[in-house]
């Protein structure tokens, strides 16, 4: 299928190289080889395989996929996603995949061209945050500046990137993507193409200028069983989870499960769950004013006294004391 949007306006016989899809799970076109993809995962979690290794992604998340990326989902639960497909030529006619991948527009990176051991992502961070002189062509020619907003798609280091989104970033990203979807669907006047292009560029700028700071949900697992169980833990943080629950759900025996976790994470399956829950509790204590009882329940400990005991074992402090000390450090 050619992922474009055709004009419905009288007298406007044209197509735009932008397409929108949303729904439960992932779009069936997610591995289209002829488009860039920006995906907003609003809900749920999933595990993917990449070159024999495994990654767990939890919502809310943003995903950037270039034309070469293959999203190989091996496990998912309650995923809701919005996907924007586009060709880079919507930014400029010169921006074909071949031209962008050739590096001919990489003037932004010229200052660090003699750093062969530095990845493109490392160069990007140095150039944005450092005090490095730029190639004058980048400063004075808009074509190189326009190419920079596509840098997340043209990295030689990877074909896909995964970002944890804050609530503010989630709201911004969703507002822009939904605005694009409205223009493509309704085409309310003959300016719909102009507005769509504007919103696409605004979305790309948000990704390039903001998301790199969050950088990525990048914990990689070598064993698919560990990835699947870890994803299950994220999704069921509030639930009572016993070792027997995990063994039944994943049709595995205790030794196989714990051997996999010990090889990967140097601890047993249930010890990892406890670490995960206490890590989540620490974050909530620092970032919110929820009561200790609410946090205890959210992190899978219906007994607040037991939660406090486990928390102190990991941190040396009670939850209340930890919160007090965290606020004093601000």
pLDDT, mean of each 10-residue run, the chain (330 residues): 93 94 94 96 91 87 94 92 96 95 85 72 68 77 90 84 81 92 95 95 81 54 88 84 94 94 90 90 84 92 94 92 77
**Does 123 fall in a domain?**
no
**Does 140 fall in a domain?**
no
Q: Which two three-digit tokens encode residue 103?
A: 């590096």
The CATH number for 273's domain is: 1.10.10.60
Q: Is 165 in the same domain as 302?
A: no
- Measured between alpha carbons, how far is residue 134 from residues 79, 113, 119, 131, 139 in Å? 42, 11, 18, 9, 7
Bond preceding residue 286 cis, omega within 30 of 0: no
Q: Is 75 in the same domain as 157?
A: yes
Tell me the torsion sign for CA atoms 112, 118, 123, 129: negative
Q: Is 180 in the same domain as 70?
A: yes
Q: Is 275 in the same domain as 155?
A: no
Q: Is 210 in the same domain as 241?
A: no
Range of the domain at 158: 5-91+149-214
Residue among 322, 242, 241, 255 nearest 287 (CA): 322
The CATH number for 200's domain is: 2.60.120.280
**Does 232 fall in a domain?**
no
Q: Is 75 in the same domain as 207?
A: yes
Ranges of beta strands (E only) in the chain are 5-6, 15-16, 18-24, 36-50, 53-58, 61-65, 72-86, 160-164, 220-221
Per-residue pLDDT at 215: 43
Number of domains in the chain: 2
Q: Is 83 in the same domain as 174?
A: yes
Per-residue pLDDT at 211: 58
**What pTM did the predictor assign?**
0.71
């Amino acid at each position: 299928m050619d992922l474009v949007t055709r004009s419905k306006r009288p007298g406007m016989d044209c197509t735009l190289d932008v397409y929108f899809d949303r729904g439960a799970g992932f779009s069936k076109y997610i591995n289209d080889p002829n488009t860039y993809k920006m995906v907003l995962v609003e809900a749920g979690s999933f595990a993917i395989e990449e070159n024999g290794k495994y990654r767990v992604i939890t919502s809310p998340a943003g995903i950037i996929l270039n034309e070469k990326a293959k999203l190989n989902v091996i496990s998912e639960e309650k995923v809701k996603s919005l996907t924007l497909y586009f060709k880079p030529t919507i930014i400029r006619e010169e921006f074909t995949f071949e031209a962008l991948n050739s590096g001919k527009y990489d003037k932004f990176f010229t200052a660090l061209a003699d750093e062969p051991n530095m990845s493109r992502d490392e160069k990007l961070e140095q150039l944005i945050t450092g005090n490095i002189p730029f190639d004058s062509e980048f400063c004075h020619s808009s074509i190189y500046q326009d190419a920079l907003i596509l840098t997340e798609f043209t990295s030689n280091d990877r074909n896909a990137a995964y970002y944890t989104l804050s609530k503010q970033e989630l709201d911004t990203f969703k507002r822009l993507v939904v605005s694009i979807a409205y223009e493509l669907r309704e085409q309310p006047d003959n300016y719909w193409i102009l507005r769509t292009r504007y919103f696409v560029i605004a979305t790309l700028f948000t990704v390039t200028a903001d998301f790199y700071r969050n950088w990525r949900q990048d914990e990689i697992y070598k064993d698919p069983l560990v990835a699947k169980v870890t994803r299950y833990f994220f999704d069921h943080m509030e639930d009572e989870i016993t070792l027997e629950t995990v063994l039944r759900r994943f049709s595995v025996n205790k030794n196989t499960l714990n051997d996999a976790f010990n090889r990967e994470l140097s601890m047993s399956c249930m010890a990892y769950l406890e670490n995960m829950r206490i890590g989540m509790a620490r974050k909530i204590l620092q970032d919110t004013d929820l009561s200790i009882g609410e946090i205890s329940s959210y992190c899978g400990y219906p007994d607040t006294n037991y939660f406090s005991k486990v928390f102190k074992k990991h941190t040396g402090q009670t939850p209340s004391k930890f919160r007090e000390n965290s606020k004093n450090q601000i």
